Chains A and B, each alone.
Chain A
Amino acid sequence: MSVSLDIRLKRANKVYHEGEVLSGVVVLQCKEPLPHHGIILNMEGLVNLQLSSKSVGVFEAFYNSVKPIPLLSSSIEVARSGKIPGGKTEIPFEFPLQAKGNKVLYETYHGVFVNIQYTLRCDVKRPLLAKDLSRTCEFIVHCQPQKAKVSPSPVSFSITPDTLQNSREKETLPKFLIRGHLDATSCVMSQPLSGEVVVEHSDIPVKSIELQLVRVETCGCAEGYARDATEIQNIQIAEGDVCHALSIPIYMVFPRLFTCPTLETTNFKVEFEVNIVIVLQDDHLITENFPSNCAESEQTQDR
C-alpha cells in the first residue's frame, strides 16, 4: 500500500517573515482508504551550535556540543484520528509565525558550526503494524527589513608590497600596485556585492583574481568560545594576465541559505568577510581582507 505524504507551502520560495502566517496544505495520496491515529503538524525553529574540533579538541567537539537553542515551536493537529479516503487529500493549515517568548527569529542560516533552521514536520500516526509516516519541510525565515536604511559606505583599497601585513619576504616580492573599491561593506543580502579592481601594475603577470566569501562563526560555551573562519564560496573574477589599468568588475551574488545578516547574540556570532585574492603566475598569493557587515534583505522580494 503506497502512501505519499507531502507538505506544500503556499509560497513557492518558502520565504516568510516574523508575524506572517505560514499557510499551505498537507497532501496525502493513497490508493485505498488510510486509517490513522491523527495527523500532527510541528513547526520548529532551532539554532544548532557545534564546537569546532580545532578549538576545543575532538572529544569535546563530539560530546560537548552546545545545546540547541529553540526559537520557535508549535504544533497542531490537522486531523483527528480517523480515515483518509483513497485518492488525493489536501488538508490546509495555517501557522502564525511568532517567536517563542522573548526570543527573536533569526534569519535562516546554514553554516558549519552554526545552523539556524526552521522546519515543518508532519507526522501521520498509524495503527499497529504500520510505520508512522513523517515528512519534513524546511521553510526560510527572513527578518523584517530595518527601518533605518543601511547607507552604502564604499571602501577603497590599494595593495602594494608595502601594505602587506604578514609577509616575511617583503624584499623578494615582485612590485605591484592593485587598486579598487567595494561599493559597500555593509551589504544587503538580496543585492550582489559589487565593486571594481584595477591592476595598475604588476611585475609578474597575474594568473587569476578571485573573490572569497568567508564566514566567521563564533560559538560561546562554558569553557570559553571558539572562533572559526571557513570559506563559503570562492569565485574567480578574472583569469589570466588581465589588462592593466582596466577596471575589472567585482560582482558576487550572496548564496542563499549560506549567508545571513551579521548576527551577534550572547551565545554565538556569525560574521562575514570578503577576501580579494590575487594569484600571480609565480603563485604568490596576495589577499586583501574586508570584514563586511551584512544586513537584512530588502523586502522587494516579498509578495
Chain B
Amino acid sequence: MAAVQWRTRWRKYESELQRCRPEALPIEFGDYHPLKPILVTDTKTRRGVRKGSTSSSSSSSSSVPPDPLSSMLDGTDPLSMFAASASETSTVSRGGSTVDLGKKKKEEEVVGADFEPWSAKRGEILSRFTTTEKLSINLCMGSDKGKATSPASSAVSEKVRTRLEELDDLEEGSQRELLNLSQQDYANRIEELNQSLKEAWASDQKVKALKIVIQCAKLLSDTAVIQFYPSKFVLITDIMDTFGRLVFDRIWSMCSEPQPLSDTFTCDDVHDTAKETCLNWFFKIASIRELLPRLHPSLHVGMEVAPQLKDCLNTNFFDLLGTFRQLSGESVQNQLVIQRVEMPEYLTLFSPAINWILQCIAYRAPECFVAEFRHEAFRPEFVATRATDFIGMIKECDEAGFPKDYINCAEIWVEFTCRHFTKREVNTVLADMIKHMTPDRAFEDAYPQLQSVIGKILTYFHDFSILFSMERFLPFLDMFQKDSVRVEVCRSIMEVFIRHQVEPTRDPVILNAMLHICKTMHDSVNALTLEDEKRSLSLLIIGFIRMTVNQLAMETRRVMRGNHSRKTAAFVRACAAYSFITIPSLSSIFTRLSLYLLSGQVALANQCLSQGPPRAWRAVLVRGLLNMVQDYTWEDNSDAKVLDSNETLYGGDPKFLSEINKLCETLIGQVLDHLKVLGGEEQTARRQGALAFSLFGVLVAHGDLRNNKLSQLAVNLWNLSHKHGYCDTRLSVRTLEYLKQQAHQPDMSHLSDTVQRLALQSRT
C-alpha cells in the first residue's frame, strides 16, 4: 500500500483559481490580522504627541476628530495670528504689508481646528502657576486730572507736547502701592485695571488709557514671587491685548468711514489720516522711557496692526536660547536663593513660553516656510553652532543636577531637531543622549522617554537609508536592554518601515539593520510568549521578508533582465537561503507555508533551482516541507495544503516532476501510515475518517486518476472514510456531485469510472 505511484493531473491553476477562488492569499499584509488596529495607532499617537503641530508632515491622511479646543477659539489672539500669518507669506507681497483686518475670519481659516489657541493655554497657565504668597501691585497712576483736554489745538506739536508732558507726569504722579494681595485679589485688581482701561478709552481719555497700560507693563519687571510670574504675565498681557485691540479698532473705524475696508486690504487702501494716527501711536509709544512699558504696548499694537512678522518668532526663539546661560548667572541665582525657589522649579516657569513659541513656529509650517527656515535662518554654520547650543543647554540642565529632567528635556528637543534639522544634528543629539544615559545605567529609568524619542524620530524620518546612516541610531537602540521594551521598539521601527518603505530597497546598511531588528524580535519569542504576540511579531518579520529579501531578489533579476551573472545568482541564492532559514522561526504554519511558497516562487523565477548546487538547497526546502508535514499531519488539512503548495511550486517544471512525484509518494505513504496508526485506536477513528476523506479530496483534485493505482487508492480512501460512519454524509454527497460534474468536462471522463466505484454509504 505504501508504494502508490503518483500521477499528476494536468491542471491550470490560474484559470481554476480565477474560476473558483478569487480571494487573495491570506498573507496579504495587514489585511486579516486581528491586531491590525495596533498598526493604525501610530497616526493617533503622533497626533497626541504635539497637538496641532503635525498636519503638514503627516503623510497619512487620516481624518482627525475636531479638536474640542477649537470651540474655544473666540479670542483674537494676536500671537496665533502671528503664527498663522507665517503660512500666508506666499500670498502677501512684502512691499505692501497686508494688514489683517478680517482677522477673526481669517484666523479661523488659517489657524485650523488643531491649533491649540492661546485662550486655552491661558487657562492652563493660570491654573498651573499659583502661589499662596502675598503679592503687591505698585502703581503710580499720576493725578487723574479728569482730562481737561486743552481746547482741541490743531497744531500737532502742541498735541504731542501736551501728551508727552502728561506721560512725564507719571514720574511724579501719586504712587499707590497695594500690599498683601492674595492671588485672587491680584487677578481682580488687574481685571479692574482692564475695565478702567476700557472705560478710559471709551470716554476718549486716550492718555489715561495709555498710562494704565504703561503701569501694567511696569508690573512685569517685578519678579517678586517668581512662581506666580507666568500667571502674572498672562493677566497683564491680557491688558496689553485689550489695548492693542482698542487702538486697532479705532484706526479700523477711522478707515471705514467712507466705506468699510475689505478683509484683505493693503496699505494703499488706508487713507492718510488713519496712517498718520497709526504712526502717531507708534511714535508715542516709542518715546516711553522704560523698556518694558515701551516694548509691550508697541508689541501688542504692532501685532494687531501688522501680524505678518513670522521672522520674529524664529529670532525670538533663538534669542531666548541665547539668554539661557543667564540663568546660571549670579543675579538669577541670588534671586532664587532669596525667594527660596529651586532651580528645577524655576525652569518649569519657562515651559509655557517655550511651549507656545515652538507651537507657533511649528504650526502648519508649509513647505516653503520650512525650506526657508532651513535655508535662511539655518544656514549650515548657523545650524552647527545652534545645534551645539542646544546640546550645551541640555548638558547644562544635566549639570544642574537633575538628570531625570535631562531626558524629558532631550525628549522634546529631539522632536524639534527632527523636525527642523538634518540627520546630522539628530545624530548629535542621540550621541549626547547616549552619553548621558549610559553612566549608571540611567536609561533603565527612562525607557518611556527613550521610546518616545524613537517614536518621534520615526515620525519624521521615513527614509531608512537616512535613519540608519545615523551612526548613533543603532547604539541608541542598544540602550533598550529590557527585553519587552526592546521588542516594543523594534516593532515600532518595523511598522514604520513596512508602512513607508514603498520602494524595495537594496541598501545593505538598511537590510543589515533591519535584519538586526528582526533578529531581536525573533529572539524575544520564547515559550511564554503569547500566541497573539507571536503572531504580530511574525507578521512584521514576514512583512520585512516580503518587502526586502524577495523583492531584492526579484529586483536583481529585473536588473539583470532575467539572465543572472554568476555574481547575482549567488546573491539571489543567498537571499533565498536567508528566507528559508528565517521562515522556520515562524510559529503560524500557514504564514510559514505561504512564505515558503512565495520564496519558492521567487527562487524559481530566478532560476535558482537549475543553477549552483541545487540539490543542497532544494533538499532543504523539500525536507523542510516534509518535516513539516510529519509534524503537522495531525492538524486538519495541513497535508492537503502542503501538497497544494508543492504543486504550485514545481507545477510548471517538468524537469522536477518525477522527483516531486517521488516525494509525493513518500508523502502519501506517510499519510497512509499515519492513517493506519489512527485506525488502530477507536477514539481516533473519526479523525482517521476525516483525514482519509481529505486525502481523497487531494487525490481527486491533484492526482491523475487515470492511473489505476491512484484511482484504487482514492476508492480505498473513500471507503475508509466511510467505514466508521463518522463521515458527514452531506459533504460526501456534495463531493460526489462535484466529481460527476467534473466528469462531464472533456478530458475528465475517466472520473465517471471512479465515481461509479464510490458508493454512498446508505443512511441507516
Residues of A within 8 A of B (CB): 6-7, 11-14, 110, 117, 119, 135-138, 140, 205, 233-246, 252-253, 255-257, 303
Contact = CB atoms under 8 A, between A and B. Distances in A.
A239 B290 contact: yes
Contacts of A14: 156
8 contacts: A110-B157, A119-B155, A235-B286, A235-B287, A235-B291, A243-B325, A253-B287, A255-B286
B155 A12 contact: no
Interface string B146-179: 0000000011110011000000000000000000
B323 A138 contact: no
Interface in B260-319: 271-273, 275-276, 279, 282-283, 286-292, 294
B292 A138 contact: no
A103 to B, nearest CB: 22
A236 B156 contact: no
Contact of A243 (B273, B279, B282, B326): B326
Contact of B283 (A238, A245, A253): A253
B18 interface: no
Given A136-B155, A235-B294, A12 B289 contact: no
B624 interface: no
Given A7-B154, A255-B287, 13 more contacts: A12-B271, A117-B157, A119-B155, A138-B156, A235-B287, A235-B291, A236-B289, A236-B290, A238-B291, A243-B323, A244-B326, A244-B329, A245-B325
B330 interface: yes
Contacts of B504: none
A235 B289 contact: yes
B127 interface: no
Contact of B156 (A7, A240, A257): A257
B221 interface: yes
Nearest to B284: A255
A246 B325 CA distance: 10
A11 B291 contact: no
B286 to A, nearest CB: 4
Given A138-B156, A246-B323, A255 B271 contact: no
B764 interface: no
A12 B276 contact: yes
Contacts of B401: none
B331 interface: yes
B26 interface: no
| Dominant secondary structure at the B interface | helix
B291 A237 contact: yes
Contacts of A238: 291
Nearest to A237: B291
B589 to A, nearest CB: 68
B102 interface: no
Given A235-B288, A236-B290, A239-B221, A205 B330 contact: yes
Contacts of B272: 11-13, 303
A13 B276 contact: yes
A256 B283 contact: yes
Contacts of A13: 272, 275-276, 279
Contacts of B652: none
B322 interface: yes
Contact of A255 (B276, B283, B289, B291): B283
B322 A243 contact: yes
Interface in B672-713: none
Given A12-B275, A253-B283, A256-B283, A236 B291 contact: yes
Contact of A253 (B154, B155, B282, B326): B282
Contacts of B154: 6-7, 135-138
Contacts of A246: 322-323, 326
Contact of B157 (A11, A138, A241, A244): A138
Given A110-B157, A136-B155, A205-B331, A239 B322 contact: no
A136 B161 CA distance: 17
A253 B288 CA distance: 11
A257 B286 CA distance: 14
Nearest to B325: A243
B287 A233 contact: yes
Kindly list the 5 A-B residue pairs having the minimum CB-CB distance in the complex, ordered from nearest.
Answer: A12-B272, A243-B326, A241-B331, A253-B286, A236-B291
A234 B286 CA distance: 11
Contacts of A244: 326, 329
A27 to B, nearest CB: 11
The residue among A6, A235, A252 with the most chain B CB atoms within 10 A of its own CB is A235
A80 B330 CA distance: 77
Nearest to B283: A256
Contacts of A11: 272
Nearest to A119: B155
A174 to B, nearest CB: 14
Interface string B525-557: 000000000000000000000000000000000
B155 A138 contact: yes
A240 B287 CA distance: 20
B7 to A, nearest CB: 90
A289 B298 CA distance: 27
Nearest to A238: B291
Nearest to A192: B286
A136 B158 CA distance: 12
Contacts of B290: 236, 239
B393 to A, nearest CB: 14
Contacts of B155: 119, 136-138
B590 to A, nearest CB: 66
Contact of B291 (A7, A12, A137, A239): A239
B258 to A, nearest CB: 14
Contacts of B289: 233-236
Nearest to B161: A110
Nearest to A253: B286
A243 B329 contact: yes
B35 to A, nearest CB: 53
Contacts of A110: 157, 161
The residue among B155, B271, B287 with the most chain A CB atoms within 10 A of its own CB is B287
A236 B287 CA distance: 10
B156 A12 contact: no
Interface string B316-350: 00000011011001110000000000000000000
A205 B331 CA distance: 7
Contacts of A135: 154
A239 B291 CA distance: 7
Contacts of B273: 12
A176 to B, nearest CB: 14
The residue among B221, B291, B323 with the most chain A CB atoms within 10 A of its own CB is B291
A11 B273 CA distance: 8
Contacts of B329: 241, 243-244
B533 to A, nearest CB: 53
Contacts of A7: 154
A229 B294 CA distance: 25
A189 to B, nearest CB: 12
